[in-house]
Amino acid sequence: MRLHAIVVAAWAGLLAATVAAGAEEWPAKPVRVVIPFGAGSATDVVPRVVLDQFTAQTGQPFVVENRGGAGGTIGTSAVAKAEADGYTLLATSSAYTITPALYSKLSYDVLTDFVPLGVIGSVPNVLIVAPSAGLNTVQDFVAAAKAKPGEFTFASVGIGSAVHLSAERFRASAGYEAVHIPFKGGAEALTEVIAGRVTYYFCPISTALPHIKAGRLKALAVSSPTRAAALPDVPTTLEAGYPNSDYTVWIGFFAPAKTDPAIVAAFDRELGKALASPVLKEKLTQIGVEPMAVTPAQFAVQVQKEVGTYAAFAKAIGMKVN
């Protein structure tokens, strides 16, 4: 019996060592990364740039799968149900922390079914209108909206998306009424605003910037607490005089709960290495991404805090729960 116990213990030790080694060697095969929004959105574009760098660093493909719909909850649910082996990950935006307040029957819990891996950075939203609207400042915009209660329309990429929440925070602070028009993707939303069929859009700078530079859109304000490096001459909504109107849109990564801590640490190392790359830094700057230096533990604390904050906000302004 004693010999049997020794053999079992030896095998257990070997298995533990093998598992640990496997975690340390992550990734040993292609990694699937689910983005719960459509192609072309900031939540799609920004992670792809970083994941290309991951592929170059590790020699393993990081394969993106867009699974949009229902404010990002469909793709997020798929990752929650995936095996916690480090080979199915989630790349999403700060919309992640508002969905619990909007959907009464989520198939996952954002606080217990995932482990935060890390943040790429923040992407300020910019309040954009068509030049034909004749609105030159954010004050002009608010005055016009108040003069025509309920006539202004605003675009988003779905109920509960980061751009939706950004627009709602500004609307609540400025005190005007407007009609929300959700689209399936950012490209459609931009097209409608450029054409003047939708009044405005709190669009991620990364996707709005080319149109602003080309004169197809006018930028009135940014949603970040400080001015965006990509649009230094555009004021923040706070500067413009609208308290509690700011909204930080982060883009980051998550893994299913119970993912080996060694894999979490390996991901964090690769992300740190990627974000330190001068080439990647330049690419992120060009698409309006602002750095956010936070550890996975700090990211977890931030997520928990935001879930409570936005639950209270959604209730206060009556955002619809599905």
The domain ranges of the chain are 2-122+250-317, 125-222
Report domain 125-222's class.
alpha beta
Q: What is the pLDDT of residues 158-186, one digit of tens each?
A: 888 889 999 999 999 999 999 999 988 88
Instruction: Tell me what pLDDT residue 302 has.
Output: 95
Identify which of 75, 159, 170 has the alpha carbon closest to the alpha carbon of residue 124: 170
Question: What is the Cα–Cα distance from 134 to 144, expressed in whole angstroms?
Answer: 10
Mean residue pLDDT across the chain:
90
Domain 2-122+250-317 belongs in CATH node 3.40.50.800: no
Q: Give the predicted TM-score (pTM) of the model.
A: 0.84
pLDDT band of residue 320 (cuts 50, 70, 90) is low
315 CB neighbour count, 10 Å cutoff: 11
* Average pLDDT of span 277-282: 94
pLDDT band of residue 24 (cuts 50, 70, 90) is low
CA distance readout (Å), 22 to 82, 205, 257, 270, 271: 18, 39, 18, 16, 19
Question: What is the Cα–Cα distance from 110 to 254, expressed in whole angstroms?
Answer: 10
pLDDT band of residue 315 (cuts 50, 70, 90) is confident
